[in-house]
Structure 1
Amino acid sequence: MATLTHDTIAPTVAPRLGSGLAFALVASASFGLSGSLGRGLMDLGWTAGAATLVRVAIAAAVLLIPGIIALRGRWELVRRSWATIVAYGAFAVAGAQLFYFMAVQHLPVSVALLIEYLAPVVVVLFMWLRHGHRPTRLTLGGAGIAFAGLVLLLDVLGGGEISIVGILWALGAMVGASVYFILSGDDSNGLPPLTLAAGGMLSALAILSIAALAGVLPVTFATGTVEFVPFAAPWWAVVLVLGIVTASVSYVAGIAANRRLGSRLGSFVALTEVLAAALFAWFLLGQVPGPMQIGGALLVVAGVVVVKLGERPAETPLESLLEPPAVSDPPAPVAV
């Protein structure tokens, strides 16, 4: 195998890194808007199940044709990776979205999202248990910092009221986000980002529809005007933005970002979604965090950053980008 030099690498890596960061920021901004829009619909009378079902249905309709076109007739990729598509739809789409919307019914948007974004810690634990990548002391220290920040964020020491139900839903969303980072960063299956996103949306739509028809998932819709702090909007406009921007755009951009940056760096940059969600919640819902919560949020973010810096594979983000992909036989379906 020929040795790559810096002269031949630099022109390739720089655009890949730049486009990956751009896609990641687009995904963070569009993902971050979902909590505030979903909370607005639920305040109108929608259930979390209804908001999730409509969001996924719109995204599936928008992405279906582009996903088929991106496949270019290579249907064997879908047949070979059906388990990955189903797992992505069940956990990264249906589970993450539904549990997050359930969480924001009981917790502020930014708090629910920060709990969900403890996902990188779960990713490290998964890599340890599944692949034997033992975490370093720095990683364990980062997990401790993140836990301390979570205590402050939930105002445990201040005697604040804790919604156990909201925390449990947010932890469920954290599991879904962990699967999202693991599967969307894996390009060994050859699925184009548009195809994986479309397949995941269709899979999630089927799962949610079956659950709704069986009566397991409560689904209640409402019409009228959604009241936000600075303005009011008709319900259908909020639903369209929720489905097109916060689902279609966000998932495609997120997959494209993680395939350029890798799961490790991608989940690090995705922390900007927390800032986006907090700003949207402040602007649209008037949810202003207190000093204790701001301090806790900073500790959670700092802890996750330390966790990422303490991971063993690829000492730097640049090395993770320069590492050539392994050439192997057609991949087996990913089991989660």
Structure 2
Amino acid sequence: MRTSPPRRTELLAAGAATVTVVLWASAFVSIRSAGAAYSPGALALGRLLAGVLTLGVICLVRREGWPPRSAWPGIAVSGVLWFGFYMVVLNWGEQQVDAGTAALVVNIGPILIALLGARLLGDPMPPRLLAGMAVSFAGAVTVGLSMSGEGGASVLGVVLCLLAAVGYAGGVVAQKPALGRASALQVTTFGCLAGAVVCLPFAGQLVREAADAPASATLNMVYLGVFPTALAFTTWAYALARTTASRMGATTYAVPALVVVMSWLALGEIPGPLTLLGGALCLAGVAVSRSRTAARTVARGAVPEPRPERTPDSAV
């Protein structure tokens, strides 16, 4: 029996989300590795330039035009916050904490997305969401305390990862409306370009550090640009255009677990028991914040949330 178009769209979106989660998890490990040779700003700029070149070639092959004017505000804001600010701050944070801890702290982003959605888009903010925020904040504090014996730099790393989560959340909220007006490839390409422009002040550092960096670090930087940026951000936008922000946020809950496994295999890094407890609290808070909505939907027999109005033809 042939798969119906809506079901096929759901499967494609789920597959795209899976690709995103796996590649974003690998990014935490690659950032940790490349960060030994590149400063945070230089690494972000190199990654974004590799991403822009990759996406530019794809746009030329597909003959993608410029995004409509109405999509530019969302593209610009998401580019500055998510592609620019987020990447620099995350790179800096991962110089202070291990990859698994960074992923655990950044993964409070879905709660922040819900908060910003309530403030900027008029989404409801039930008490359960506030409770979830409190639990996740307690988890972040626990992570910071668990690493306090290593000095203030570790606490700084947790704060930087929290700031990265804020940039990530702001970028997602800004990107969602833009996806209703432009294709996933357009939104990703020009968002990446906006982030690269913001990071241009680090160009001098990038040139100097690239001359002395080992080939493995430079290859990691290129990998970050081609796969976790060009490919993963495009598959993210593809899936986000076909589902809700909350469902997409839920898919990122698997990132910390994947990062812990990857960092153990590639870097020999495993967060301690108290760090893992703090990370579990972060994820538990996110789960608490989303559970009430699901329960109400089942209890009231509510219809599913409406699908985005975009058609498959307008996306990658």
- TM-score, with normalisation over the residues of structure 1? 0.79
Query: C-alpha distance in 2, partners of 1:136/1:18?
Result: 30
Return the alpha-carbon distance in structure 2 between the equivalents of residues 38 and 305 of structure 1. 27
- Conservation of the 8 A alpha-carbon contact between 1:123 and 1:178: yes
- 1:90 and 2:83 aligned: no
Residue 7 of structure 1 aligns with which residue? none
Among 19, 28, 36, the alignment partner of 1:35 is 28
Distance 2:183 2:101 in 1: 33
1:151–1:165 Cα change, 3 Å: closer
**Cα drift, residue 298 of structure 1:** 1.7
TM-superposed deviation, 1:60: 0.2
2:51 corresponds to: 59
Contact 1:13 1:321 (8 Å CA) reproduced: no
Partner residue in 1 for 2:145:
155
Is the 8 Å Cα contact of residues 64 and 186 (structure 2) preserved in structure 1?
A: no
Q: Give the distance between the partners of 2:170 and 2:295, measured in 1 at CA.
A: 19
Match of residue 133 from structure 2: 143
1:22/1:159 Cα in 2 relative to 1: closer, same or farther (>3 Å)?
same
Q: Residues 276-310 of structure 1, C-alpha deviation per residue, up to 9 Å, x if partnerless?
A: 22222212211112222222222211211221233
Q: Does structure 1 residue 287 correspond to structure 2 residue 281?
A: no
Point out where structure 1 has 5 or more consecutive residues left out of the alignment. 1-9, 227-232, 328-336
Asked if 1:24 corresponds to 2:7, the answer is: no
Counterpart of 2:192?
Answer: 201
Shift of 1:312: 8.8
* Partners of 1:314 and 1:11 in 2: CA distance: 28
Return the offset for 1:313.
12
- Distance in 1, matches of 2:211 and 2:265, equals 23
Q: Give the deviation of 1:131 after TM superposition.
A: 4.0
SS in 2 for 1:273: helix
Aligned length: 305
Q: How does 1:298-313 map to 2 (within 5 A)?
A: 298-311=280-293
Give the structure with the higher percent helix.
2
**Counterpart code for 1:48:** P
Specify the alignment match of 2:160 in structure 1.
169
1:125 offset after TM fit, Å? 1.8
Is there any run of 5+ residues in structure 2 with no aligned partner, and where?
311-316
Q: Give the TM-score taking structure 2 as reference length.
A: 0.84
Q: Which one-letter code corresponds to 2:190 in the other structure?
A: G
In structure 1, the residue matched to 2:314 is: none
The answer to whether residue 202 in structure 2 is matched with residue 212 in structure 1 is yes
| 2:39 is the alignment partner of 1:47 | yes
Amino acid at match of 2:155: I
Amino acid at match of 1:252: T
Alignment identity in percent?
A: 19
Instruction: Provide the alpha-carbon RMSD of the alignment.
Output: 3.1
Given that 1:133 and 1:312 are in contact with CA atoms closer than 8 Å, whether structure 2 keeps it comes out as: no
Letter in 2 for 1:262: T
- Give the aligned residue type for 1:287: E
What's the counterpart of residue 306 of structure 2? Answer: 323
Distance 1:34 1:277 in 2: 9
Aligned-pair CA distance for 1:271: 1.7
